[in-house]
Structure 1
């Protein structure tokens, strides 16, 4: 009963992450299908096709395409060069084998260091020299067999990625971008709390910043895969790079707002700016959460009118303080803080407008494949 309970809890956790379950299913199908193909063809070392199919099957089609290209290019280089070394460098004795390993590894390791796409080349070359199968069937046939099996594994992995519950990289990118934007909404709330109530959320900020950075890196990695899908004509979705650049600019704007919010506003200033700042906070949070939903579901962005009205009201309130006697009686640091906050929000509004435009573009270029999840 305890075991069944554990299975039930594990299944519940998997059910909360359908993308991971789909990937697990694709990997399983790819490995099994590669095994069946090698048995039908009768390859002597079919396990390499199975391993390659599993390695190539990634979270998105773009990721699978990248893995397949790198796996094939590295294997081809390692198999060809390793086969040549095995054929022409005697390695029957331990000393000869040691020399052959050095001759095989040095140039391929250098190639892998310069071009990471070839990182499997040294491994393949070693396999050509070390296993008894390569010696039994001959180095040249072993090289040919290795490349054939890796090619089969690549093909199976790509076909499974395309046909079995396919996950487009554009979809993964917009989901990660939506996560970034929703976390930005939390960040804005923490900053406004610091302005109005003091630095009580430092622990929350320390936990939130790493989550935002991780989500940005995930979105950037998915964008790289999405660009590869786009170059391979697997999708006609919009260019992903502008969205990632805009997300980083918005991130920088929020850092600037955070610096201006590092200390609470003095009571007299807060009394004047508090109402407009509160409304601006509410409208900004609403807009960011709406943007996150729009990105996640590839829909048009929400209307920014309420945010823009709140922004202009806040900027108007800060400008009204410029010639106010109240400001003249406060320290220069307070004066700088108020207008630094206004400037940061102005930059934030500009880049938020770009993010709205990118979201609109993604919605217009949305395809059934991209919105399937």
Structure 2
């Protein structure tokens, strides 16, 4: 029974980390495939193909393509240049070897500093001078073998990324975007609580802001990989850039709402606005949560009619304060706070409408390409 419980616990843990488990499986299959191919071709330094396959396989196909291109371009540059240095620069003694290492590494290190895609080039160039296998078969033959091995590793990694439980970058992007949107719902609730009850939500804000920034960074990184997949014609998903741009705009709108809500409303103003503000809060929070689900599953976005109606009511109530004798004697900054809040919510509505449209684009594409993961 204890053993069965441990198995169930392990299954639950793996289920909670399904994306990580799929990545681990792809990496393992890519390594085994690369090893098998090197044995077929009887490559003397086949372990480099296995290492490359492990390095190339990333969380998405777009990421794997990027890693493969960078690994190949860096290896090719390092192998060619390092092979030339090994062939034509004497390095039989310790001193001459040291000078050859400087000649082999410095130009490529400078290249890698300017173009990070070539960061493996200095390593490959250095290896051309050092391994005994390279000295035994000759520098040029060693360089050729190295390029062949890295190429095989790249091919194995990309093939596995495409065929074994493939994770498209746009899927990772929409999942990260969905997380950011759902966190924004919590952020809005913290702001409204601060506006109506004082700085009780500060602890929540300190937790939510880093989480939202992290989710946006993940979405942005995945968007770069999704754009690479589109350029490689591996997906027909919409252009990811508008979605990321809109997410940041919504984030900026919430920051504006937070600034307007940084102090509690005066009692007379709160008494007038609290009912409409509560309805607006509930409608906006529900819309954000439903929108996050739509993004996560790439389905049609929710209807925003309730949110629009609640915002209209709140705006009318805020405008009516101008002629209210009970609040006319309040400080000017109190009125400024109310109208700043109204303006921020109006901007939030505009960008939220844009986010709904971006969500619909992905839903339409998902229906048009149901076989695409």
Provide TM-score, normalisation by structure 2: 0.97
Other-structure match for 1:40:
40
Q: Distance in 2 between matches of 1:333 and 1:3?
A: 66
Offset of 1:5 from its aligned partner? 7.0
> How do 1:97-112 residues align onto structure 2 when only pairs under 5 Å count?
97-112=97-112
Indicate the SS of the match to 2:326. Answer: helix
Indicate the SS of the match to 1:14. Answer: helix
Could you report, residue by residue, the CA deviation over 1:62-105 in whole angstroms, capped at 9, with x for unpaired residues? 00000000000000000000000000111111111110111111
Offset of 1:325 from its aligned partner? 2.4
**Alignment of 1:301 onto 2:301:** yes
Other-structure match for 2:146:
146
Other-structure match for 2:323:
323
Q: Distance in 2 between matches of 1:350 and 1:199?
A: 28
Other-structure match for 2:275:
275
Moved more, 181-190 or 359-368: 359-368
Other-structure match for 1:206:
206
Moved more, 83-92 or 322-331: 322-331
CA contact (8 A) 2:268 2:327 kept: no
> How do 1:21-32 residues align onto structure 2 when only pairs under 5 Å count?
21-32=21-32
Offset of 1:132 from its aligned partner? 1.1
CA contact (8 A) 1:168 1:369 kept: no
Could you report, residue by residue, the CA deviation over 1:347-369 in whole angstroms, capped at 9, with x for unpaired residues? 00000000001001111112235
Other-structure match for 2:189:
189
Offset of 1:200 from its aligned partner? 0.7
Q: Distance in 2 between matches of 1:105 and 1:6?
A: 51
Offset of 1:44 from its aligned partner? 0.4
Other-structure match for 2:292:
292
Moved more, 101-110 or 326-335: 326-335
Other-structure match for 1:368:
370
Q: Distance in 2 between matches of 1:216 and 1:369?
A: 27
Other-structure match for 2:49:
49
**Alignment of 1:133 onto 2:133:** yes
Could you report, residue by residue, the CA deviation over 1:301-352 in whole angstroms, capped at 9, with x for unpaired residues? 0011011000101111111112322332111121111111001001000000
Could you report, residue by residue, the CA deviation over 1:214-250 in whole angstroms, capped at 9, with x for unpaired residues? 0000000000000000000001110000000000000
CA contact (8 A) 1:35 1:47 kept: yes
Q: Which runs of 5+ in 2 are unaligned?
A: none
Q: Distance in 2 between matches of 1:239 and 1:50?
A: 34
RMSD, aligned α-carbons: 1.4
Other-structure match for 1:260:
260
Indicate the SS of the match to 1:328. Answer: coil
Q: Which runs of 5+ in 1 are unaligned?
A: none
CA contact (8 A) 2:53 2:157 kept: yes
Q: Distance in 2 between matches of 1:146 and 1:41?
A: 13
Q: Distance in 2 between matches of 1:271 and 1:285?
A: 22
Other-structure match for 1:120:
120
Offset of 1:10 from its aligned partner? 4.5
CA contact (8 A) 2:257 2:344 kept: yes
